[in-house]
Amino acid sequence: MCWEWIGKRRATAIVLAPLIAGIALGQTKVSVPTSGKDIFRATCVACHGTDGRGAADATRGFEPPPTFPDFTACNATAREPNRDWSAIVHNGGPARGFSEIMPSFREALSSDQIEKVIEYLRGFCREPSWPRGELNLPRALVTEKAFPEDEAVIDMAIDTDSPRSVTSRLVYERRFGARNQIDVSVPFAFKESGTGNWFGGVGDIALGYKRVLASNLRTGSIFSLSGEAVLPTGNVARGMGKGVTVLESFASFGQLLPKDSFFQFQGGIEVPTHSDDASKAVFWRTVLGKSFTADKGHGRVWSPMVELLADRELVSGEPINWDVVPQFQVTLSQRQHIRADFGVRIPVNNTANRSPAIMFYLLWDWFDGGLRDGWK
Protein backbone atom coordinates (compact mmCIF):
# COMPACT_ATOMS: atom_id res chain seq x y z
CA MET A 1 0.00 0.00 0.00
CA CYS A 2 1.13 3.57 -0.65
CA TRP A 3 -1.37 5.50 1.52
CA GLU A 4 0.83 6.56 4.47
CA TRP A 5 -0.37 9.85 5.92
CA ILE A 6 0.62 12.43 8.50
CA GLY A 7 -0.21 12.44 12.23
CA LYS A 8 -3.40 13.31 14.06
CA ARG A 9 -2.47 16.90 14.75
CA ARG A 10 -2.95 17.72 11.06
CA ALA A 11 -6.23 15.77 10.71
CA THR A 12 -8.54 18.78 10.47
CA ALA A 13 -7.34 19.54 6.95
CA ILE A 14 -8.93 16.37 5.59
CA VAL A 15 -11.74 15.70 8.05
CA LEU A 16 -13.75 18.29 6.09
CA ALA A 17 -13.73 16.00 3.05
CA PRO A 18 -16.84 13.95 4.03
CA LEU A 19 -18.70 17.24 4.53
CA ILE A 20 -17.75 18.31 1.04
CA ALA A 21 -18.95 14.92 -0.26
CA GLY A 22 -22.23 15.27 1.57
CA ILE A 23 -22.89 18.64 -0.02
CA ALA A 24 -22.01 17.28 -3.47
CA LEU A 25 -24.23 14.23 -3.06
CA GLY A 26 -27.48 16.00 -2.54
CA GLN A 27 -27.64 17.21 1.06
CA THR A 28 -28.14 20.63 -0.54
CA LYS A 29 -29.51 21.51 -3.97
CA VAL A 30 -26.14 20.92 -5.61
CA SER A 31 -26.37 18.25 -8.35
CA VAL A 32 -25.12 14.77 -7.58
CA PRO A 33 -21.89 13.85 -9.46
CA THR A 34 -22.27 10.68 -11.48
CA SER A 35 -18.91 10.14 -13.20
CA GLY A 36 -15.70 9.04 -11.50
CA LYS A 37 -14.06 12.30 -12.51
CA ASP A 38 -16.82 14.40 -10.99
CA ILE A 39 -16.84 12.38 -7.76
CA PHE A 40 -13.05 12.71 -7.50
CA ARG A 41 -13.21 16.48 -8.00
CA ALA A 42 -15.96 16.78 -5.40
CA THR A 43 -14.42 14.64 -2.66
CA CYS A 44 -10.70 14.07 -3.29
CA VAL A 45 -9.14 16.90 -5.25
CA ALA A 46 -8.62 19.17 -2.23
CA CYS A 47 -5.93 16.78 -0.95
CA HIS A 48 -4.91 14.71 -3.97
CA GLY A 49 -4.93 17.45 -6.61
CA THR A 50 -6.54 17.45 -10.02
CA ASP A 51 -3.66 15.40 -11.48
CA GLY A 52 -3.48 12.80 -8.68
CA ARG A 53 -0.04 13.91 -7.55
CA GLY A 54 -1.28 15.81 -4.50
CA ALA A 55 -2.63 19.33 -4.13
CA ALA A 56 -0.32 22.29 -3.64
CA ASP A 57 0.77 22.88 -0.03
CA ALA A 58 -1.02 26.23 0.13
CA THR A 59 -4.27 24.63 -1.02
CA ARG A 60 -4.00 21.47 1.05
CA GLY A 61 -3.13 23.20 4.30
CA PHE A 62 -0.57 20.65 5.51
CA GLU A 63 2.87 19.43 4.52
CA PRO A 64 2.62 15.90 3.03
CA PRO A 65 4.93 13.12 4.21
CA PRO A 66 7.34 11.46 1.76
CA THR A 67 4.92 8.55 1.28
CA PHE A 68 1.90 10.68 0.34
CA PRO A 69 0.27 8.83 -2.58
CA ASP A 70 1.07 9.83 -6.14
CA PHE A 71 -1.48 8.07 -8.33
CA THR A 72 0.59 8.67 -11.46
CA ALA A 73 3.40 6.46 -10.06
CA CYS A 74 2.58 3.13 -11.72
CA ASN A 75 5.21 1.27 -9.71
CA ALA A 76 3.18 1.95 -6.57
CA THR A 77 -0.41 1.99 -7.81
CA ALA A 78 -0.56 -0.73 -10.49
CA ARG A 79 0.42 -3.46 -8.04
CA GLU A 80 -2.52 -2.62 -5.74
CA PRO A 81 -5.82 -4.38 -6.48
CA ASN A 82 -9.05 -2.41 -6.41
CA ARG A 83 -10.21 -4.15 -3.24
CA ASP A 84 -7.35 -2.53 -1.27
CA TRP A 85 -8.31 0.96 -2.43
CA SER A 86 -11.98 0.20 -1.83
CA ALA A 87 -11.26 -0.89 1.75
CA ILE A 88 -9.51 2.40 2.51
CA VAL A 89 -12.12 4.62 0.83
CA HIS A 90 -14.97 2.76 2.53
CA ASN A 91 -13.49 2.46 6.02
CA GLY A 92 -10.71 5.04 6.22
CA GLY A 93 -6.98 4.73 6.70
CA PRO A 94 -7.10 2.76 9.98
CA ALA A 95 -8.89 -0.11 8.20
CA ARG A 96 -5.55 -1.03 6.62
CA GLY A 97 -3.20 0.14 9.33
CA PHE A 98 -2.74 3.69 8.05
CA SER A 99 -3.39 6.99 9.79
CA GLU A 100 -6.94 8.10 10.58
CA ILE A 101 -6.15 11.32 8.72
CA MET A 102 -7.66 9.44 5.76
CA PRO A 103 -11.40 9.54 6.61
CA SER A 104 -14.06 6.97 5.82
CA PHE A 105 -16.38 7.79 2.92
CA ARG A 106 -18.74 4.91 3.71
CA GLU A 107 -21.56 7.30 4.64
CA ALA A 108 -20.82 9.91 1.97
CA LEU A 109 -20.43 7.71 -1.11
CA SER A 110 -22.27 4.63 -2.33
CA SER A 111 -20.37 1.49 -3.31
CA ASP A 112 -21.09 2.24 -6.96
CA GLN A 113 -19.66 5.76 -6.62
CA ILE A 114 -16.55 4.43 -4.90
CA GLU A 115 -16.02 1.96 -7.73
CA LYS A 116 -16.34 4.77 -10.27
CA VAL A 117 -13.82 7.02 -8.52
CA ILE A 118 -11.35 4.13 -8.20
CA GLU A 119 -11.59 3.45 -11.94
CA TYR A 120 -10.96 7.14 -12.55
CA LEU A 121 -7.89 6.98 -10.30
CA ARG A 122 -6.60 4.08 -12.42
CA GLY A 123 -6.35 6.45 -15.37
CA PHE A 124 -3.55 8.41 -13.69
CA CYS A 125 -1.16 5.51 -14.38
CA ARG A 126 -0.58 5.88 -18.11
CA GLU A 127 1.77 2.94 -18.67
CA PRO A 128 -0.32 -0.15 -19.58
CA SER A 129 2.70 -2.47 -19.40
CA TRP A 130 2.40 -2.74 -15.60
CA PRO A 131 0.49 -5.91 -14.57
CA ARG A 132 -2.44 -5.12 -12.33
CA GLY A 133 -2.49 -6.21 -8.69
CA GLU A 134 -5.58 -8.37 -9.23
CA LEU A 135 -3.25 -10.80 -11.06
CA ASN A 136 -1.04 -11.13 -7.98
CA LEU A 137 -2.51 -14.47 -6.89
CA PRO A 138 -1.85 -16.03 -3.47
CA ARG A 139 1.61 -17.59 -3.22
CA ALA A 140 1.57 -21.37 -2.84
CA LEU A 141 4.07 -23.37 -0.76
CA VAL A 142 5.92 -24.83 -3.77
CA THR A 143 4.61 -23.46 -7.07
CA GLU A 144 6.24 -20.27 -8.33
CA LYS A 145 3.73 -17.55 -9.26
CA ALA A 146 3.89 -15.42 -12.40
CA PHE A 147 3.54 -11.95 -10.82
CA PRO A 148 6.78 -10.03 -10.09
CA GLU A 149 7.11 -9.05 -6.42
CA ASP A 150 9.03 -7.20 -3.72
CA GLU A 151 8.92 -9.85 -1.02
CA ALA A 152 10.96 -11.65 1.60
CA VAL A 153 9.87 -15.19 2.45
CA ILE A 154 11.13 -17.73 4.94
CA ASP A 155 9.78 -21.22 4.44
CA MET A 156 10.25 -24.49 6.28
CA ALA A 157 9.64 -28.19 5.74
CA ILE A 158 9.80 -30.81 8.51
CA ASP A 159 10.10 -34.49 7.59
CA THR A 160 7.88 -36.67 9.73
CA ASP A 161 9.91 -39.92 9.49
CA SER A 162 13.40 -40.84 10.71
CA PRO A 163 16.04 -39.74 10.10
CA ARG A 164 14.39 -36.43 10.80
CA SER A 165 15.30 -33.18 9.07
CA VAL A 166 14.25 -29.54 9.03
CA THR A 167 14.92 -27.66 5.81
CA SER A 168 14.43 -23.91 5.50
CA ARG A 169 14.92 -21.32 2.82
CA LEU A 170 15.22 -17.55 2.87
CA VAL A 171 14.01 -15.93 -0.36
CA TYR A 172 14.51 -12.29 -1.30
CA GLU A 173 12.67 -10.94 -4.35
CA ARG A 174 13.08 -7.49 -5.86
CA ARG A 175 11.03 -6.08 -8.69
CA PHE A 176 12.44 -3.63 -11.21
CA GLY A 177 10.61 -2.01 -14.07
CA ALA A 178 7.11 -3.02 -15.01
CA ARG A 179 7.68 -6.72 -15.67
CA ASN A 180 10.99 -7.85 -14.17
CA GLN A 181 12.14 -9.46 -10.94
CA ILE A 182 15.44 -10.73 -9.57
CA ASP A 183 15.66 -13.03 -6.58
CA VAL A 184 18.09 -14.93 -4.40
CA SER A 185 17.29 -18.06 -2.43
CA VAL A 186 19.48 -19.28 0.45
CA PRO A 187 18.55 -22.73 1.78
CA PHE A 188 19.79 -24.19 5.05
CA ALA A 189 18.99 -27.42 6.84
CA PHE A 190 19.35 -29.36 10.07
CA LYS A 191 19.49 -33.13 9.77
CA GLU A 192 19.64 -36.08 12.12
CA SER A 193 22.53 -38.47 11.59
CA GLY A 194 22.37 -42.22 11.98
CA THR A 195 23.79 -41.88 15.51
CA GLY A 196 21.04 -39.50 16.62
CA ASN A 197 23.19 -36.38 16.47
CA TRP A 198 22.12 -33.33 14.50
CA PHE A 199 24.16 -31.31 12.02
CA GLY A 200 23.34 -28.30 9.86
CA GLY A 201 24.57 -26.12 7.06
CA VAL A 202 23.80 -23.99 4.03
CA GLY A 203 22.55 -25.64 0.84
CA ASP A 204 22.88 -24.67 -2.81
CA ILE A 205 22.19 -20.94 -3.26
CA ALA A 206 20.00 -19.97 -6.25
CA LEU A 207 19.99 -16.74 -8.25
CA GLY A 208 16.98 -16.08 -10.44
CA TYR A 209 15.36 -13.73 -12.94
CA LYS A 210 11.67 -13.46 -13.93
CA ARG A 211 10.08 -11.65 -16.85
CA VAL A 212 6.35 -11.18 -17.42
CA LEU A 213 5.63 -11.78 -21.10
CA ALA A 214 1.89 -11.20 -21.06
CA SER A 215 -0.79 -10.01 -18.66
CA ASN A 216 -4.43 -9.16 -19.26
CA LEU A 217 -6.81 -8.00 -16.56
CA ARG A 218 -9.82 -8.47 -18.85
CA THR A 219 -9.12 -12.19 -19.29
CA GLY A 220 -7.63 -12.49 -15.81
CA SER A 221 -4.41 -14.13 -16.99
CA ILE A 222 -0.65 -13.60 -16.56
CA PHE A 223 2.31 -15.51 -18.07
CA SER A 224 6.01 -15.32 -17.16
CA LEU A 225 9.31 -16.99 -17.99
CA SER A 226 12.06 -17.44 -15.40
CA GLY A 227 15.61 -18.69 -15.17
CA GLU A 228 17.75 -19.71 -12.21
CA ALA A 229 21.35 -20.69 -11.59
CA VAL A 230 21.67 -23.00 -8.58
CA LEU A 231 25.25 -22.78 -7.32
CA PRO A 232 27.08 -25.70 -5.64
CA THR A 233 27.50 -24.05 -2.24
CA GLY A 234 26.15 -26.93 -0.15
CA ASN A 235 28.06 -29.81 1.43
CA VAL A 236 27.52 -32.83 -0.83
CA ALA A 237 28.82 -35.36 1.70
CA ARG A 238 26.17 -34.25 4.20
CA GLY A 239 23.38 -34.17 1.65
CA MET A 240 23.19 -30.38 1.56
CA GLY A 241 23.77 -29.94 -2.18
CA LYS A 242 24.32 -31.56 -5.57
CA GLY A 243 27.94 -30.55 -5.99
CA VAL A 244 27.34 -29.10 -9.45
CA THR A 245 25.84 -25.92 -10.89
CA VAL A 246 22.30 -26.51 -12.11
CA LEU A 247 20.58 -24.24 -14.64
CA GLU A 248 16.82 -24.14 -14.32
CA SER A 249 14.24 -22.56 -16.60
CA PHE A 250 10.48 -22.60 -16.20
CA ALA A 251 7.22 -20.97 -17.23
CA SER A 252 4.57 -19.72 -14.80
CA PHE A 253 0.92 -19.03 -15.55
CA GLY A 254 -1.87 -17.60 -13.40
CA GLN A 255 -5.56 -17.42 -14.13
CA LEU A 256 -8.40 -15.74 -12.25
CA LEU A 257 -11.52 -17.87 -12.05
CA PRO A 258 -15.12 -16.95 -11.09
CA LYS A 259 -16.07 -16.30 -7.46
CA ASP A 260 -12.55 -15.39 -6.26
CA SER A 261 -11.11 -18.74 -7.36
CA PHE A 262 -7.79 -19.08 -9.16
CA PHE A 263 -5.52 -21.51 -11.00
CA GLN A 264 -1.74 -21.48 -11.29
CA PHE A 265 0.76 -23.61 -13.22
CA GLN A 266 4.53 -23.91 -13.29
CA GLY A 267 6.56 -26.21 -15.51
CA GLY A 268 10.28 -26.40 -16.21
CA ILE A 269 13.53 -28.27 -16.63
CA GLU A 270 16.74 -28.58 -14.59
CA VAL A 271 20.01 -29.02 -16.47
CA PRO A 272 23.30 -29.64 -14.61
CA THR A 273 26.46 -28.19 -16.13
CA HIS A 274 28.15 -31.59 -15.69
CA SER A 275 25.83 -34.46 -16.49
CA ASP A 276 28.12 -36.99 -14.81
CA ASP A 277 27.44 -35.42 -11.41
CA ALA A 278 23.66 -34.97 -11.65
CA SER A 279 20.79 -35.86 -13.96
CA LYS A 280 18.51 -33.64 -15.95
CA ALA A 281 15.02 -33.39 -14.52
CA VAL A 282 11.64 -31.97 -15.41
CA PHE A 283 8.87 -30.79 -13.13
CA TRP A 284 5.34 -29.43 -13.31
CA ARG A 285 3.12 -28.01 -10.60
CA THR A 286 -0.49 -26.86 -10.46
CA VAL A 287 -2.48 -24.93 -7.86
CA LEU A 288 -6.23 -24.58 -7.44
CA GLY A 289 -7.57 -22.28 -4.74
CA LYS A 290 -10.23 -19.84 -3.61
CA SER A 291 -10.04 -16.70 -1.47
CA PHE A 292 -12.56 -15.70 1.19
CA THR A 293 -12.52 -12.10 2.44
CA ALA A 294 -14.12 -10.75 5.61
CA ASP A 295 -16.05 -7.48 5.90
CA LYS A 296 -17.62 -7.61 2.43
CA GLY A 297 -14.28 -7.91 0.67
CA HIS A 298 -12.43 -5.34 2.77
CA GLY A 299 -10.98 -7.41 5.62
CA ARG A 300 -8.75 -10.39 6.31
CA VAL A 301 -8.26 -12.90 3.47
CA TRP A 302 -8.23 -16.70 3.82
CA SER A 303 -7.07 -18.74 0.81
CA PRO A 304 -7.32 -22.55 0.97
CA MET A 305 -5.35 -24.17 -1.87
CA VAL A 306 -4.36 -27.59 -3.17
CA GLU A 307 -1.14 -28.15 -5.10
CA LEU A 308 -0.43 -31.17 -7.30
CA LEU A 309 3.31 -31.65 -7.83
CA ALA A 310 5.21 -33.90 -10.20
CA ASP A 311 8.90 -34.34 -11.01
CA ARG A 312 11.01 -36.87 -12.87
CA GLU A 313 14.71 -37.34 -13.49
CA LEU A 314 15.41 -37.85 -17.18
CA VAL A 315 17.01 -41.24 -16.65
CA SER A 316 15.70 -44.44 -18.17
CA GLY A 317 13.45 -46.30 -15.76
CA GLU A 318 13.03 -43.42 -13.29
CA PRO A 319 9.41 -42.97 -12.17
CA ILE A 320 7.39 -39.77 -11.91
CA ASN A 321 7.05 -38.67 -8.30
CA TRP A 322 3.60 -37.31 -7.47
CA ASP A 323 2.73 -35.26 -4.39
CA VAL A 324 -0.36 -33.44 -3.20
CA VAL A 325 -0.12 -30.41 -0.88
CA PRO A 326 -3.31 -29.18 0.82
CA GLN A 327 -2.64 -25.82 2.46
CA PHE A 328 -4.15 -22.67 3.89
CA GLN A 329 -2.89 -19.09 3.50
CA VAL A 330 -4.07 -16.20 5.68
CA THR A 331 -3.26 -12.50 5.89
CA LEU A 332 -1.93 -11.54 9.32
CA SER A 333 -1.53 -7.75 9.29
CA GLN A 334 -4.27 -5.21 8.63
CA ARG A 335 -2.25 -3.98 5.68
CA GLN A 336 -2.17 -7.57 4.40
CA HIS A 337 1.54 -7.37 3.65
CA ILE A 338 2.38 -10.09 6.18
CA ARG A 339 0.97 -13.52 5.32
CA ALA A 340 1.41 -17.10 6.46
CA ASP A 341 0.76 -20.44 4.78
CA PHE A 342 0.59 -23.87 6.38
CA GLY A 343 0.22 -27.26 4.68
CA VAL A 344 1.33 -30.88 4.39
CA ARG A 345 3.19 -32.40 1.44
CA ILE A 346 1.89 -35.93 0.98
CA PRO A 347 3.58 -38.39 -1.42
CA VAL A 348 1.07 -40.13 -3.67
CA ASN A 349 3.43 -42.83 -4.99
CA ASN A 350 6.94 -44.16 -4.31
CA THR A 351 6.25 -43.76 -0.61
CA ALA A 352 8.94 -46.19 0.52
CA ASN A 353 11.67 -43.57 0.22
CA ARG A 354 9.57 -40.42 0.54
CA SER A 355 7.80 -39.35 3.71
CA PRO A 356 5.15 -36.68 4.36
CA ALA A 357 6.44 -33.25 5.32
CA ILE A 358 4.86 -30.43 7.31
CA MET A 359 5.35 -27.16 5.44
CA PHE A 360 5.06 -23.50 6.43
CA TYR A 361 6.07 -20.04 5.26
CA LEU A 362 5.96 -16.47 6.51
CA LEU A 363 5.81 -13.81 3.79
CA TRP A 364 6.62 -10.11 4.05
CA ASP A 365 5.71 -7.80 1.16
CA TRP A 366 8.28 -5.19 2.14
CA PHE A 367 7.20 -2.68 -0.51
CA ASP A 368 3.95 -2.19 1.41
CA GLY A 369 5.61 -1.34 4.72
CA GLY A 370 7.89 -2.47 7.51
CA LEU A 371 7.37 -5.56 9.63
CA ARG A 372 5.88 -3.45 12.42
CA ASP A 373 3.64 -1.37 10.13
CA GLY A 374 -0.02 -2.01 9.55
CA TRP A 375 -0.99 -3.79 12.78
CA LYS A 376 -3.64 -2.86 15.32
What pLDDT is recorded for position 348? 96
pLDDT band at 209 (very low <50, low <70, confident <90, very high): very high
What pLDDT is recorded for position 239? 84
225-237: average pLDDT: 95
279-305: average pLDDT: 96
Report whether pLDDT(65) > 70: no
Q: At what angle do helices 82-91 and 111-122 cross, to 10 degrees?
A: 130
What pLDDT is recorded for position 3? 44
* Least confident piece of the model among 164-173, 231-240, 250-259, 300-309: 231-240
- 146-149 LR contacts (CB < 8 Å, sep 24+): 146/212, 146/222, 146/223, 146/224, 146/252, 146/253, 146/254, 146/264, 147/212, 147/222, 147/224, 147/254, 148/173, 148/175, 148/179, 148/180, 148/181, 148/210, 148/212, 148/224, 149/173, 149/175, 149/181, 149/365
Residue 353 class from Cβ within 10 Å (0-12 exposed, 13-18 middle, 19+ buried)?
Answer: exposed
Report whether pLDDT(267) > 80: yes
Cβ–Cβ under 8 Å, residues 81 and 132: yes
What is the percent of the chain where pLDDT is above 70? 89
What pLDDT is recorded for position 275? 81
What is the Cα–Cα distance from 340 to 342, expressed in whole angstroms? 7
How confident is the model over 179-199, as pLDDT tens digits? 999 999 999 999 888 777 888
What is the Cα–Cα distance from 359 to 298, expressed in whole angstroms? 28
CB-based contacts of 258: which residues, under 8 Å, 6+ apart?
none
Report whether pLDDT(58) > 90: no
DSSP class of residue 138 equals P
The yes/no answer on whether domain 8-122 falls in CATH 1.10.760 is yes
CATH architecture of 133-368: Beta Barrel (2.40)
Report whether pLDDT(59) > 90: no
Report whether pLDDT(306) > 50: yes
* Least confident piece of the model among 167-171, 253-257, 353-357: 353-357
List the one residue out of 326, 324, 327 whose CA is nearest residue 339. Answer: 327
144-171: average pLDDT: 94
Domain ranges of the chain: 8-122, 133-368
Task: For residue 163, say if its preceding peptide bond is cis, omega within 30 degrees of 0.
Answer: yes
* Least confident piece of the model among 53-67, 219-233, 347-361: 53-67
**What is the DSSP annotation of 80-131?**
S-HHHHHHHHHH-GGGGTS-TTS---TTTS-HHHHHHHHHHHHTT---TTSP
How confident is the model over 313-338, as pLDDT tens digits? 999 989 999 999 999 999 999 999 99
Report whether pLDDT(63) > 90: no
Task: Tell me what the pLDDT averaged over the chain comes to.
Answer: 88
What pLDDT is recorded for position 238? 85
C-alpha distances out from residue 262 to 148, 197, 223, 301, Å: 17, 44, 14, 14
What is the percent of the chain where pLDDT is above 90? 69
Report whether pLDDT(212) > 80: yes
Report whether pLDDT(11) > 70: no
What is the Cα–Cα distance from 165 to 225, expressed in whole angstroms? 32
How confident is the model over 105-145, as pLDDT tens digits? 999 999 999 999 999 999 999 999 999 999 999 999 999 99
pLDDT band at 101 (very low <50, low <70, confident <90, very high): confident
How confident is the model over 14-41, as pLDDT tens digits? 434 443 444 344 444 445 678 999 999 9
What pLDDT is recorded for position 368? 92
Between 294 and 32, residue with greater pLDDT = 294
What pLDDT is recorded for position 31? 59
What pLDDT is recorded for position 25? 44
